[in-house]
Amino acid sequence: MTNQTLTLQVPAVLYSRLKQRADQAQRSVEAETLELLAATVPATEALPADLQEALTSLALLDDEALRRAARSRLGNEAAAELEALHFKQQREGLTDAEAQRRGELIQQYERAMLVRAQAAALLRQRGHDVSTLLAPS
């Protein structure tokens, strides 16, 4: 894989937050920024077949079922475990097994977010006000 150079003008407040994260993870600002970008930008545009099927099947749901899907969240235990792993990664790093588990939990979280977003989009297309669904609970 070849590397490309990217020069960014970053607001001081954002740079300070990046520097703080990098210091906590004991790495450079560049390495921290690259990890954040890699975690944010999907590797491909195509969704896995099971996820594409789940999103497509939402169109078959009635409005109430879509509202429930739009309000769904990652389970409390999974969310707490993901948060704990995130903080541990920042403090001291993760073992291979912990990093793998963190990856699995992130996939679950991303799936839940995609389902929520698609359900809200379908409700909006059907003429419903989704502003209450998008507000933090």
What pLDDT score does 131 carry?
87
59 and 111 both lie in a single domain: yes
Please compute the mean of the pLDDT values over residues 35-60 and round it to a whole number.
79
Show Cβ contacts of residue 31 under 8 Å, excluding neighbours closer than 6 positions: 22
What pLDDT score does 21 carry?
84
Q: How far apart are CA 19 and CA 17, in angstroms?
A: 5
Contact 98, 58 (CB under 8 A): no
Query: What tens digit of pLDDT does each residue of 71-88 get?
Result: 998 899 999 999 999 999
Q: How far apart are CA 12 and CA 35, in angstroms?
A: 20
Report the interhelical angle of 96-125 vs 49-57 (nearest 10°): 30
52 and 32 both lie in a single domain: no
82 and 103 both lie in a single domain: yes
Count of domains for the chain: 2
Residue 29 lies in a domain: yes
Residue 121 lies in a domain: yes
What pLDDT score does 45 carry?
66
27 and 52 both lie in a single domain: no
109 and 75 both lie in a single domain: yes
Query: What tens digit of pLDDT does each residue of 29-45 get?
Result: 998 888 888 767 766 66
